[in-house]
Amino acid sequence: MISPDSSSVTASDPSTSSATSASLLARVSNPDYVIRVKDLNHYFGEGETRKQVLFHNGLDIQRGEIIIMTGPSGSGKTTLCKRLRSVSVSREHIRLDNYFKSPRTFPRKGAFRNWERPSNLKFDVLLKHLKMLRSGKKVHTMTFPKRAGAKREPIILNPGSIIFVEGFVLFKDKKVRDMLDLKIYLDIHPDIMLSRRAVRFGAAHVNDYDTKVAIPEFLKYGVAQKRFADHIVDAGRSQAEVIKEVKMLIKRHMGRGKSR
């Protein structure tokens, strides 16, 4: 009865249907919904014993709105996605970090393995997962532990009304880019990138890998992504200020979607 392929279905008469009728199955071709049922009635029994048990109920399964946070390492993408819980109860968080190929395949830059190249990432797998989530399917996948020797753990990604995806070069792949609904670039100066990474990884790492690989590679591949962003947010401010602005952008975007 509920067909995601039909554009609009008018109700059958309750007296002729077996037990359930939806007086209007709204346009499921509407890009905001995978399935939308309005005015659902359900009956038990026949003749005098016939009883109505559902009265004009509705069901909305929204299509996942894909919202992206990109920007340099240390711009706060992961922290922000974790803290954006209150925007929607039905939301999922995807980390591009879990889509790395085997580090053995990465090119080298000087003495280092270069983790910063977009070609190190499995965009084809990410694209498949985004399509599955958008069509309402669960995704079973694995974590990618960056630390040598750490075990991969299973992850289940659930379809939701908002799918946050965060990573450092997310706009690089055109097919992925074309699926994104709201693209936010968290902007910080390389000096802030270095100071935040120094807290996480230690000063020695920053003086070595970061200045020789991470910063030059980000300036080459990462900064160029700004031109694809819908919004560039100054992420050098306090977390509270950044969260406030990003929440406002998401709410405005979702509100616009509903009136489409």
d(CA 159, CA 35): 13
188 Rama class: left (phi>0) / alpha (psi -120 to 50) / beta: beta
State in angstroms the smallest separation of the CB of 96 from Mg ion: 8
Residue closer to Mg ion, measured from CB, 91 or 197: 197
| Shortest Å, Cβ 79 to ligand ATP | 3
Residue 17 touches which of Mg ion, ligand ATP, none (CB < 5 to 8 A by kind)?
Answer: none
- CB 197 to ligand ATP: min, Å: 7
For residue 169, the minimal CB distance to ligand ATP (Å) is 10
For 168, half-sphere exposure in the C-beta direction (CA atoms, 13 angstrom radius) is 25
Query: Residue 90 binds what, of ligand ATP, Mg ion, none (CB under 5 to 8 Å, by partner type)?
Result: none
Q: Does 199 bind ligand ATP (CB under 6 A)?
A: yes
> 78 or 158, CB closer to Mg ion?
78
Joined tokens for residue 192: 């802030």
122: three-class secondary structure by DSSP: coil
Tokens of 63: 């299509």
Would you say 21 or 73 has its CB closer to Mg ion?
73
39: helix, strand or coil: strand
Pairing state between β 91-95 and 162-166: parallel
Nearer to ligand ATP, 38 or 117 (CB): 117
Task: Give least dist CB 100 to ligand ATP, A.
Answer: 12
Interface of this chain with ligand ATP, residues 48 to 77, rule: CB under 6 A: 73-77
CA distances to 80, 82, 218 from 245, rounded to whole Å, are 11, 15, 24
Does residue 242 belong to the site contacting ligand ATP (CB under 6 A)? yes
Closer residue to ligand ATP, CB minimum distance, 119 or 195: 195
- Give the span between the Cα atoms of 249 and 5, in whole angstroms: 32
Contact of residue 159 among ligand ATP, Mg ion, none (CB under 5-8 Å per partner type): none
The residues, any chain, with a CB within 8 Å of residue 253's CB and separated by 6 or more, are 65, 67, 181, 182
Interface residue list for ligand ATP (CB under 6 A)? 73-79, 168, 196, 199-200, 235, 238-239, 242
